[in-house]
Amino acid sequence: MLVPYLIVGAILFTLGVIGFMTRKNLIIIFLCTELMFQGIVVTLVALGRYPVAGMPTLDGQVFALFLLAVAASEAALALALVILLYRHKPTLDANAWKLLKEE
Partner 1 sequence: MSGLLVTMLLTLGAAGVYLAMPRGRSHVTGLAMILVAGLAVAGIAGLLSNLGVSSGTFSGFTMFGALAVLSAVRVITHERAVYSALYFILTIISTTALLLLMRAEFLAIALIIIYAGAILVTYVFVIMLAQQGGAVPAFDKQAREPLVGVILGFVLLSTLASRFFQPSGAAAAETVKQSGGSVEVGTHLMTQYVVGVELAGVLLLAAMVGAIALARRKAPPLAEREIDAC
Report 1-40 residues binding partner 1 (CB under 8 A): 1-8, 10-12, 14-19, 21-25, 27-28, 30-32, 34-35, 38
Residue type, 29: I
Complex with partner 1: residue 83 or 100, whichever CB lies closer: 83
Complex with partner 1: residue 19 or 100, whichever CB lies closer: 19
Q: Are 98 and 85 in contact (CB under 8 A)?
A: no
Q: Are 9 and 43 in contact (CB under 8 A)?
A: yes
Q: Which residues pair with 93 in a beta bridge?
A: 25
Q: Are 43 and 5 in contact (CB under 8 A)?
A: yes
Complex with partner 1: residue 87 or 100, whichever CB lies closer: 87
Work out how close the CB of 100 gets to partner 1 at its nearest, in angstroms, rounded to a whole number.
15
Mark residues 41-80: x for contact with partner 1 by CB under 8 A, - for none: xx--xx-xxxxxxxxx-xx-xx-xxx-xxxxxxxxxx-xx
What gap in Å lies between CA 70 and CA 74, rounded to an integer? 6
